[in-house]
Amino acid sequence: METIQERMKFIEEEIQAACTRSGRNRHELTVIAVTKQVSVERTQEVIEAGINNLGENRPEGILGKQEEIKLDTVNWHFIGNVQSRKVKDIIDKVDFLHSLDRISIAKEIQKRATSTIDCFLQVNVSAEETKSGIQPEDVKGFVEEIAEFDKIRVIGLMTMAPFTQDEELIRPVFRALRVLRDQIAALNLKHAPCTELSMGMSNDYTIAIEEGATHIRIGTALVGMESEGDG
């Protein structure tokens, strides 16, 4: 396998080029290394390469990595579906939750969290049945419904585009999320500043950057896949 450093150099060039094409500043962008498919050792390499935002999609993954990696400098992003009964295990251990998409989970967070957590609402823009997420037309109602939940701050929206090489199927999804983000931000709600956009993965991060992403979540392109990975 190539080193993380080599892969990051390539990705960083791609990021820079996308920023240049779209007149954006690289500093607006946070790169999250998704380490769900790799070991603690490989994750350590990511940190050594200078990346301090890590993404995991299972409670066991994030808790297992945190056992071994005890660094205040790392920001932990939870990007997966969380079951209600698991909320209590992770909620005080993650810095950002990217996948809030159900009121039942919001209620559980409100009940269990000891401090306010920065959340992205996951939106199912592409309307694929297999994808989770709030329907776009329901996002405003969802935001209003959690207004009294002082443990949740809606900092932005998150989505996943269809997995395809056809850019014309991907771009409208990101564009629609941005429009929705702007609409929610314009409500000027204290609990939902909604300035951020978590979108773009290995397959489509350059398109996401062009469409306004502030957080990209990169797994395989950066860390590869380890069949023996402990996730």
Ligand X SMILES: *Cc1c(COP(=O)(O)O)cnc(C)c1O
Site residues for ligand X per CB under 6 A? 34, 36, 57, 79-80, 160, 201-203, 217-221
- Quick one: 30 or 203, whose CB is closer to ligand X? 203
Chain residue whose CB lies nearest ligand X: 219
Distance CA 117, CA 121 (A): 12
Give the position of tokens 């945190």. 66
Q: Taking the complex as a whole, how short is the minimal distance between the CB of residue 96 and ligand X, in angstroms?
A: 12
The conformation of residue 147, written as its DSSP 8-state character, comes to T
- Quick one: 113 or 201, whose CB is closer to ligand X? 201
- Quick one: 66 or 220, whose CB is closer to ligand X? 220
Distance CA 154, CA 195 (A): 9
Q: Taking the complex as a whole, how short is the minimal distance between the CB of residue 160 and ligand X, in angstroms?
A: 6
Q: Taking the complex as a whole, how short is the minimal distance between the CB of residue 148 and ligand X, in angstroms?
A: 28
SS3 breakdown of the chain: % helix, strand, coil, rounded to 5?
40, 20, 40
Would you say 155 and 95 are in contact if contact means Cβ atoms under 8 Å apart?
no
Distance CA 157, CA 195 (A): 8
Torsion of CA 196, 46, 19, 155, to 10 degrees: 0
Q: Taking the complex as a whole, how short is the minimal distance between the CB of residue 55 and ligand X, in angstroms?
A: 7
Q: Taking the complex as a whole, how short is the minimal distance between the CB of residue 114 and ligand X, in angstroms?
A: 25
Would you say 34 and 217 are in contact if contact means Cβ atoms under 8 Å apart?
yes
- Quick one: 36 or 181, whose CB is closer to ligand X? 36
The conformation of residue 74, written as its DSSP 8-state character, comes to P
Distance CA 121, CA 209 (A): 19
- Quick one: 34 or 74, whose CB is closer to ligand X? 34
- Quick one: 189 or 221, whose CB is closer to ligand X? 221
Q: Taking the complex as a whole, how short is the minimal distance between the CB of residue 131 and ligand X, in angstroms?
A: 10
Distance CA 20, CA 3 (A): 26
